[in-house]
Chain A
Amino acid sequence: MKRNRTERRVFEAADALTPEPPSFESVTKGVDWDTVAQNGRPSPRRRRILVPMAIAGLAVCVTAAIVIPLAINFSNEPSYYGEGGQRPVLYGTFAASRWVCSDPSIDFSLSTLEVTEKRNDAPSTALLFGKEGNYVCCVRFTENPFGSFEFGVLSFELGEYRGEASYLSQKTPFSISFPLEESSEKTITISFGDSSSFALGTVYYTPIG
């Protein structure tokens, strides 16, 4: 029991009034402390249970540490877009060849669009430089096999495919990420603007690597 100063004083006063108890030496006369220490160790029976348990526990941890990352890495299940065989095969590096905007008041001529496709299932990345201001952004694919669907900043799952579209900041450059299937020329329509001003840009890009 933890005692505060007042309680300790009462306890010690009571100790002082208590008759002299037998001494520790007289009580423990003949005690073999090495035997006591031996008794304090886990019994052989207990050890026979504990040691295999510890080994088994360790083995489970090691196995889990190896198997779980491998299982994740080799999983055939698409992690974020497509369904099994429909999963796009991504490869090569693409560059924008033309950039057309439907709203002539917005000059995209200073902008560049880079599309990098990766062989693994990571989404490609499009980087747009040179435009400042706040935008509402969406990316629309109009060709097969994507059909027609959009990636919006607030909606990353559209149609039967998944992709990502996100601002790095409210100012350019920002990034748009999306999956692509083939190395042939593609069209991506990118919209900028808010409810009061809306502009549509289309980029044509071809594989270069």
Chain B
Amino acid sequence: MDAERELKRAIKSGNGARIAKAFERLYEDNVRLVYRVLIDSFGKDGETDDDIQESFLGLLKDPQRLLTVDRVADYWVQSAKYICGHRKEKQRRLDQMDDESETADQGQSIPDLLQGRELFAKIEAWLGHPDSDIVILKAAYDYTQKEIAERLGMGEDAVCYRYRKAIKELRRRLRDEKE
């Protein structure tokens, strides 16, 4: 069963062991995504792990609330971004620093983490810009069309259209490569 659905059922059941198992599955399925998004949005520092932990424990504080959200994973990503961003902002104010150093990665098309690596190098070569950026930001980071459009300075419709076209092309290329 889908991890999200299982989690919501477990919460409704009120069974501690079942809830623990469901949360573990949700965590394993999505923690790398949350991690990637945090690194992409704010850069990695010694406290990123703490941000992950704090945001996840936040989910456990009010499980009832999770029953009302569409996707718990999205909710987790958003709360992790909020926590991390809040901390960075506080830190920036304390240090009286410009936000250049901390947010240097923001606005870059393909995140450093994946740039030029294995499959992602191929995606860049096959699809070119900005289609490769759109595919990576959407498929690997779960960014919304709006977020991608703002990041790449395009319209949302264009992102939607290019993504559909690009993912088809990528599927074809991967199939050809396999053959």
On A, residues with C-beta under 8 Å from B are 1, 3-7, 9-11, 13-15, 17-19, 21-22, 24, 26-28, 31, 33-34, 36-43
The minimal Cβ–Cβ distance linking A32 to chain B, given in whole angstroms, is: 8
Q: Which residues of B contact A13 (CB under 8 A)?
A: 118-120, 140
The minimal Cβ–Cβ distance linking B173 to chain A, given in whole angstroms, is: 9
Find out whether the CB atom of B64 lies under 8 angstroms from the CB atom of A14: no
Find out whether the CB atom of B140 lies under 8 angstroms from the CB atom of A21: no
The minimal Cβ–Cβ distance linking B71 to chain A, given in whole angstroms, is: 7
Closest residue of chain A to B71 (Cβ to Cβ) is A1
Find out whether the CB atom of A41 lies under 8 angstroms from the CB atom of B14: yes
> For the complex, what is the distance from the CA of A6 to the CA of B113, rounded to whole Å?
20
Interface string of B13-47 (1 = CB under 8 A from A): 01111011001100110011111100100001000
Check if B114 is an interface residue, CB within 8 A of chain A: yes
Given A21-B31, A27-B52, A39-B62, also A14-B141 (CB < 8 A): yes
B53-61, B84-92, B147-155 - interface stretch: B53-61
The minimal Cβ–Cβ distance linking B170 to chain A, given in whole angstroms, is: 6
> For the complex, what is the distance from the CA of A14 to the CA of B39, rounded to whole Å?
13
> For the complex, what is the distance from the CA of A13 to the CA of B141, rounded to whole Å?
11
Closest residue of chain A to B21 (Cβ to Cβ) is A33
Check if B157 is an interface residue, CB within 8 A of chain A: no
Find out whether the CB atom of A3 lies under 8 angstroms from the CB atom of B49: no
> For the complex, what is the distance from the CA of A28 to the CA of B135, rounded to whole Å?
33
14 contacts between A and B (CB under 8 A): A7-B138, A7-B167, A10-B123, A11-B140, A17-B113, A18-B35, A21-B52, A22-B53, A31-B20, A33-B19, A34-B16, A36-B16, A37-B11, A40-B19
Find out whether the CB atom of A22 lies under 8 angstroms from the CB atom of B19: no
> For the complex, what is the distance from the CA of A65 to the CA of B68, rounded to whole Å?
33
Check if B142 is an interface residue, CB within 8 A of chain A: yes
Given contacts A3-B139, A9-B174, A38-B14, 17 further A-B contacts (CB under 8 A): A4-B167, A6-B170, A13-B140, A14-B36, A14-B139, A17-B113, A17-B120, A19-B44, A27-B57, A28-B56, A31-B20, A31-B57, A37-B16, A37-B63, A39-B61, A39-B62, A40-B14
On B, residues with C-beta under 8 Å from A are 11-12, 14-17, 19-20, 23-24, 27-28, 31-36, 39, 44, 49, 52-53, 56-57, 60-64, 71, 73, 113-114, 117-120, 123, 135-136, 138-142, 167, 170-171, 174
Find out whether the CB atom of A6 lies under 8 angstroms from the CB atom of B167: yes
Q: Which residues of B contact A27 (CB under 8 A)?
A: 27, 52-53, 56-57
Name the 10 nearest CB pairs between A and B, nearest first. A14-B140, A40-B63, A33-B16, A10-B139, A34-B16, A37-B16, A40-B11, A18-B32, A13-B119, A33-B20
The minimal Cβ–Cβ distance linking B86 to chain A, given in whole angstroms, is: 19
Q: Which residues of B contact A38 (CB under 8 A)?
A: 14
Closest residue of chain B to A6 (Cβ to Cβ) is B171
> For the complex, what is the distance from the CA of A166 to the CA of B71, rounded to whole Å?
59
> For the complex, what is the distance from the CA of A39 to the CA of B62, rounded to whole Å?
6
Find out whether the CB atom of B140 lies under 8 angstroms from the CB atom of A9: no
Q: Which residues of A contact B114 (CB under 8 A)?
A: 14, 17
The minimal Cβ–Cβ distance linking B34 to chain A, given in whole angstroms, is: 8
